[in-house]
Structure 1
Amino acid sequence: MRTTHALVQVAMAMMADPDERHWGYSLGKDSGVRSGVLYPILRRMLDDGWVDDGWESAEEARKRPPRRYYVLTEKGREELGRLLQTARNDPRFRGLGLGFAQ
């Protein structure tokens, strides 16, 4: 997957809490990536085995439609960790707050 600002921002949002379920809407807010860019990234992550997905139960949803969630796989944690490490050393991503080696 090509390393873009949007991918790095989504990776940062997911890796901030790698063991939790991530909701598309929350990922968009946390990463600052708009939905037209976010959902194709999540689709590629699904296709590459970086995330699994599912739907919340009717009990969790209560009176609204169930939401789809995304959970990082072990492969996804490794790949996103590697991606973020590479991005830390890439000047293109300097403004994203990754912390840069001096």
Structure 2
Amino acid sequence: MRMTIPVAKVLAALLADPEAPRYGLDLMKLTGLPSGTLYPVLHRLQAAGWLAAEWEEVDPVAAGRPARRYYRLTPEGVRAARAALAELRALAPDSPKPRGIAPTGAPAW
């Protein structure tokens, strides 16, 4: 997996609570990434086996919105994401370290 800043932001957001299913708009808010950047990253993570995705079972008419596609790191994805972000931090020892999730819910990258 090629580690880019958008990939690192998505992984950090997903790792903040690996058990929590996240949908696109939620991830856009957490990462600050536009949909045109976010969805290709999600697709690559899913193709690599790091991410599982499933559609919510909801009646769009009753819910008043379309069904959401929820994303969650796989167990392999959790291990790989933690290792990749640790390696990224090790490569840039003089740069500021991520501080986790900021009070607004956005990763502190």
Question: Mind listing any 5+ residue stretches in structure 2 that lack a counterpart?
Answer: 101-109
Question: Displaced runs of 4+ in structure 1, greater than 6 A?
Answer: none
Residue correspondences, number = 99
In the alignment, the residues of structure 1 paired with residue 97 and residue 10 of structure 2 have an alpha-carbon distance, to the nearest angstrom, of: 11
Query: Aligned residue for 1:78?
Result: 79
In the alignment, the residues of structure 2 paired with residue 45 and residue 5 of structure 1 have an alpha-carbon distance, to the nearest angstrom, of: 14
Matched residue type, 1:91: A
- In structure 2, relative to structure 1, the CA distance for the partners of 1:71 and 1:77 (3 Å cut) is same
Taking structure 2 as the reference length, the TM-score comes to: 0.79
Tell me the secondary structure at the aligned position of residue 89 of structure 1: helix
- In structure 2, relative to structure 1, the CA distance for the partners of 1:68 and 1:96 (3 Å cut) is farther
Cα drift, residue 91 of structure 1:
2.2
Query: Aligned residue for 1:23?
Result: 23
- Identity among equivalent positions (%) equals 36
Matched residue type, 2:10: V
The RMSD of aligned alpha carbons is 2.3
Tell me the secondary structure at the aligned position of residue 95 of structure 2: helix
Higher helix share: 1
